Amino acid sequence: MGGVGEPGPREGPAQPGAPLPTFCWEQIRAHDQPGDKWLVIERRVYDISRWAQRHPGGSRLIGHHGAEDATDAFRAFHQDLNFVRKFLQPLLIGELAPEEPSQDGPLNAQSWCLQHDLGHASIFKKSWWNHVAQKFVMGQLKGFSAHWWNFRHFQHHAKPNIFHKDPDVTVAPVFLLGESSVEYGKKKRRYLPYNQQHLYFFLIGPPLLTLVNFEVENLAYMLVCMQWADLLWAASFYARFFLSYLPFYGVPGVLLFFVAVRVLESHWFVWITQMNHIPKEIGHEKHRDWVSSQLAATCNVEPSLFTNWFSGHLNFQIEHHLFPRMPRHNYSRVAPLVKSLCAKHGLSYEVKPFLTALVDIVRSLKKSGDIWLDAYLHQ
């Protein structure tokens, strides 16, 4: 391609005042390997290979956008864009060739609730206040690590329902979702009777996610990543909880009470968060633009006074994913605008009744299980 050059993978940043080299998407796609990551923001190409390890949001989060146009994600995740752009300047190595589209691929368009809002920095104007308050709410009031939650949840927002990038759909071999059903079937893997997963989901899904999976994963994360401050916050929760109830219920009673609280919380968490995601498309990276990728992985649930309150406004999951830092009480205001934009560009904007959304979780699990069985027996 005339006028398009490619420097070596470790060439220094572009010199101030010097004309920037230009790249086509074919060249950029070659730099999506461990230790060799490029990405595009606002049509400028950045080499984040070495800097990714220092990314405040973690190397995995920014690495998920390797060799992609990360402009929309960049704007959605950062509050002070001018401040963040200062860190990008030393990483600048070029820009997209004028004839290249901004997105590589077809373009269509561009106490739980409290800690969730704090984690998304949508309460206080200063990010530092949000982070400090989140540590208190997540650690002292719930016994979990704020860093662990951010590590999981930010990846989920960056690449929802994408295998190996969204931790929320990394549930094999216990459950098979989307494209993993065919893969396990063809490889003749049968760790569990997956054609019955819609039934055993009720036994090990909603009851045990928070009590078992989150507790173990949270503790392991704090120890492995040496998050000692979070460990102290979590220890303060357990100390307060057991010291408060031990005089009334004794050791067995306190343990039973703790299990009951976690199981009740787990039921709410699984049904409310997964009614917007599990029934949607789940699979490998498709390299879609920001809007299309969020719409493919999310849907809304019809609003009502009860649904809005019970779900913490997360029934507006489309708006939440498109604008993760927007205060959730504003979702209902922007929803008509988003729906109009989707209609204008021919994008699917799915809204379903509350009970239908809950039932669809089970339906999608059964569908995936049936697909697995068919592939297991016949492919």
Structure tokens at 54: 């220092």
pLDDT of amino acid 297: 96
Question: What percentage of the chain exceeds 90 in pLDDT?
Answer: 68
Q: Which of 19, 17, 23 is nearest to 45 (CA)?
A: 23
- Average pLDDT on 243-247 reads 94
CATH, domain range 22-96: 3.10.120.10
Its pTM stands at 0.76
Count the neighbouring beta carbons within 10 Å of the beta carbon of residue 216: 10
pLDDT in tens, 115-129: 888 888 888 888 889
Give me the residues paired with residue 45 across strands. Answer: 40, 94
Give me the helix-helix angle, 197-204 and 354-378, nearest 10°: 130
CA–CA–CA angle 87, 147, 330 (5° rounding): 80
Q: Is the pLDDT of residue 103 over 80?
A: no
Structure tokens at 41: 């923001």
Give me the residues paired with residue 215 across strands. Answer: none
Residue 123 CB partners (closer than 8 Å, separation 6+): 117, 129, 130, 133, 327
Alpha carbon distances (Å) from 6 to 80, 155, 262, 285: 31, 30, 54, 25
pLDDT of amino acid 57: 83
Alpha carbon distances (Å) from 98 to 2, 89, 256: 11, 20, 64
| 3 confidence band (pLDDT: 50, 70, 90) | very low
Q: Find the helix or strand (DSSP H, E) in which 332 lies.
A: helix 331-344
Q: Residue with structure tokens 């009951």? A: 260
CA atoms within 13 A on the CB side of 15: 3
Structure tokens at 73: 């994600």
Alpha carbon distances (Å) from 281 to 112, 266, 314: 26, 23, 19
d(CA 373, CA 280): 20
Helices assigned H by DSSP within 39-176:
59-63, 71-77, 81-88, 112-119, 127-135, 146-158
| 67 confidence band (pLDDT: 50, 70, 90) | confident
Q: How far is CA 264 from the centre of its chain?
A: 23
What is the β-pairing status of strands 351-352 and 36-41? unpaired
Q: Which of 213, 237, 218 is nearest to 145 (CA)?
A: 218
8-state DSSP, 349: -
Q: Residue with structure tokens 């146009």? A: 69
pLDDT in tens, 287-310: 999 999 999 999 999 999 899 999
Cβ-in-10-Å burial (0-12, 13-18, 19+) of 231 comes to: middle
Residues 94 and 23: beta-carbon distance below 8 Å: yes
First to last CA, the chain: 43
- Average pLDDT on 89-101 reads 89
d(CA 99, CA 16): 24
- Average pLDDT on 5-16 reads 53
d(CA 139, CA 127): 18
d(CA 45, CA 89): 10
pLDDT in tens, 17-64: 678 899 999 999 999 998 899 999 999 999 999 988 889 888 888 888
Write down the domain spans for the chain: 22-96, 111-378
pLDDT of amino acid 61: 86
